[in-house]
Structure 1
Amino acid sequence: MMSFTLRNLLGRSISLSNKCSVRSFRCGQVMLSATNLKGRHLLTLKDFNGEEIKQLLWTSADLKMRIKDKGEALPLLQGKSIAMIFEKRSTRTRISTETGFALLGGHPCFLTTQDIHLGINESRKDTARVLSGMTDLILARVYKHSELQQLAEDGSVPVINGLSELYHPIQILADYLTLQEHFGSLTGLTVTWIGDGNNVLHSFMLSAPKLGMHLRVATPKGFEPDATVTTFAKSLSEKCGTKMFFTNDPLEAASGANVLVTDTWVSMGQEEEKAERLKAFHGYQITMKTGQYAAPNWIFLHCLPRKPEEVDDEVFYSPKSLVFQEAENRKWTIMGAMVSILTDYTPKRSKPKF
């Protein structure tokens, strides 16, 4: 077994141990085996190269085909359990993980801050060690990304990021599966983000170039993505030969886009900023007028929950909108991630074209 250390985005060291070996560098990422993700943490897609992301998507598509389309029973996680820590409430993350893990034969344990002593009567370090002795996997939806890093460092089982203030990797996997299903391939697509420079955008920025996708970003002044993320993402895009463009003009960003994406303008914990944010985001609502600047085949994505000021009903409920397919794919992609991390599963269907 080979062990080595990388520096994550915040400058902290992360140790990767795996049966696979270092082969080469691709788009600024260490190239690991694309077929064995067992035992890996999923804290950010920054830690995964393009082939590994494709592997996750391939496994997700395979499970969806076998279970949903063919009606097969696949108890791949029988006898296993997952601790689901939720500091922030959720619809899609909870339901997709809970039902998905159960569908695969495992036992999900839903835990809020009222259910366990997380950082109050018991340190996070001790909680991580206790949960590691009782479960096979931890998914945590938290406010601070550092809490996920601490769980990963102090525990002995893999940790999945269910959402943090920096990243939302499991949402982006669902977005990519949706685009793969709709367009047949991801390579060459132009994704336009119109909205806040938040965790979902960060995850796009750190993964889209690895899949050969171009990214155009429009945010109001003062609401740009994290500067450190931006610097790394621009470098990644250059190495991968893709384009990444930033502006404060939503219509300029929409030019030539195959995909228009937005998200909530007021996230949990930002309620006191609502009035200021709504004023700053005036003119950022996605409408059919926005679509006139995009490519003829443009579609719309939103991770939900959605507010009308972010996208009007005409777009949201139109054939251009894939938001409910996207929401369902949260289930299949988290299942793909959990199976990949906990087992040696090999997809049965042929590998999709990426």
Structure 2
Amino acid sequence: MRDKFRGKDYLGFKDFTKEEIEHLLSIAQDLKRKWTMREPHEYLKGKSYAMIFEKKSTRTRNSFHAGAAALGAQSFYLRPDEMQLSRGEPIKDTARILDRYFDGLYIRTFGQEIVEEFAKYMKNPVINALTSLEHPCQGLADLLTIREKKGEFKGLKICYAGDIYNVCHSLMLGAAMFGMDMYIATPKGYGAEPSIVEMARKHAALSGSKIVFTDDFDKALKDADIVYGNTWHSMGENEEQKEQRIKDFMPYQINSEAMSKARKDAIFMHCLPGYRGEDMTDEVIEGPQSVVWDEGENRMHAVKAVLVATSL
């Protein structure tokens, strides 16, 4: 498995098998243990990574900086507005030059086709730090958090309420792979990427789980082990629809009443940033069922696992 990962790109859950994601989770768990015990794990000493972020970031960018540093590697933030890409240089030209300087690229951008083009022209690994299609580093952190809090995946139920976007897509694929039912609760008229839904349902058929889209929030919450929130208006993608989205999604707010409809031991997860008073309430994110801070930390351990797996 180790040799299979070396030099491989990490562009989305759609490109990986359950066994491969399981391998990454095992690495992440081991690296987290070492981090907690303050055991040195500078496996990537001497390596350097480029970072391109075309969207604002707190957790994604800083988890990579901190994770790379813990592994003994250096990370260099390349401002898009200072690169020749902003003046029209082709991606393939930039990619081949960065490939000569760095041991890999961590990129947060808009279209999935952008990271795929970088990967096409780079021999070193390209890691997707978020596109409009997937957020696979968040997906890995989510699975790590669920395993820590709930033990086994099989038979768990996730209620997801929020924008059906990159985070939802990766979580949907991960849930289906590992045998978790996932109920996506949204107003009518909001849907997921059809290719991701088709792939998730194929995984679900093998694992014996269900992927359900519903506008019935109570149905999604009933017996849920995990209540997962997300913003209703994604940054830079649908700002012109913001007011309409807030109006449409308000009945799906995760508040104390909503949490009371899930299992008593249900956990609340959120990829953040969240908007208190919109997609969730202050009492929920600050409440005893919230695991969002552990989830946020796990972003770093997930990224470290991907770096180690693709670099060694």
| TM over 0.5, shorter chain | yes
1:307 is displaced (CA, Å) by 0.4
The aligned residue for residue 20 of structure 1 is none
The aligned residue for residue 263 of structure 1 is 230
Which stretches in structure 2 are left out of the alignment for 5+ residues?
A: none
User: Residues 148, 124 of structure 1: CA spacing in aligned structure 2 closer, same or farther, 3 A cutoff?
Assistant: same
Runs of 4 or more, structure 1, over 4 Å off, are none
Amino acid corresponding to residue 182 of structure 2 in structure 1 = L
SS of equivalent residue, structure 2 residue 77: strand
- Supply the distance in 2 between the matched residues of 1:214 and 1:120 (Cα, whole angstroms): 46
The aligned residue for residue 157 of structure 2 is 190
The aligned residue for residue 104 of structure 1 is 71
Q: Does 1:292 align with 2:260?
A: yes
SS of equivalent residue, structure 1 residue 260: strand
The aligned residue for residue 246 of structure 1 is 213
- TM-score, scaled to structure 2: 0.96
Amino acid corresponding to residue 218 of structure 1 in structure 2 = A
Range that drifts further, 133-142 or 207-216? 207-216
- Supply the distance in 1 between the matched residues of 2:156 and 2:204 (Cα, whole angstroms): 14
- Supply the distance in 1 between the matched residues of 2:189 and 2:121 (Cα, whole angstroms): 36
Q: 1:327 aligns with which of 290, 296, 304?
A: 296
The aligned residue for residue 303 of structure 1 is 271
Alignment of 1:197-216 (within 5 A): 197-216=164-183
Q: Does 1:161 align with 2:106?
A: no
1:35 is displaced (CA, Å) by 7.2
Amino acid corresponding to residue 294 of structure 1 in structure 2 = A
How many equivalent residue pairs?
A: 310
The aligned residue for residue 279 of structure 1 is 247
- Supply the distance in 2 between the matched residues of 1:35 and 1:222 (Cα, whole angstroms): 44
Contact 2:52 2:106 in 1 (8 A): yes
- Cα deviation code 1:226-256 (max 9, x no counterpart): 2222222222211221122110121211111
The aligned residue for residue 20 of structure 2 is 52
Percent of residue pairs bearing the same amino acid type? 39
| CA-atom RMSD in angstroms | 1.4
- Supply the distance in 2 between the matched residues of 1:306 and 1:195 (Cα, whole angstroms): 10
- Supply the distance in 2 between the matched residues of 1:288 and 1:35 (Cα, whole angstroms): 47
1:280 is displaced (CA, Å) by 1.2
- Cα deviation code 1:198-226 (max 9, x no counterpart): 11111112221211211111111122112
The aligned residue for residue 79 of structure 1 is 46
User: Residues 312, 35 of structure 1: CA spacing in aligned structure 2 closer, same or farther, 3 A cutoff?
Assistant: farther
SS of equivalent residue, structure 1 residue 225: coil
1:121 is displaced (CA, Å) by 4.1
- Supply the distance in 1 between the matched residues of 2:2 and 2:78 (Cα, whole angstroms): 32
Contact 1:138 1:158 in 2 (8 A): yes
1:72 is displaced (CA, Å) by 1.4
- Supply the distance in 1 between the matched residues of 2:216 and 2:79 (Cα, whole angstroms): 40
Contact 2:107 2:130 in 1 (8 A): yes
Amino acid corresponding to residue 159 of structure 1 in structure 2 = V
SS of equivalent residue, structure 1 residue 67: helix
Amino acid corresponding to residue 268 of structure 1 in structure 2 = M
Range that drifts further, 265-274 or 52-61? 265-274
Higher normalized helix content (fraction of residues): 2
- Supply the distance in 2 between the matched residues of 1:221 and 1:303 (Cα, whole angstroms): 23
Contact 1:84 1:110 in 2 (8 A): yes
Higher normalized strand content (fraction of residues): 1
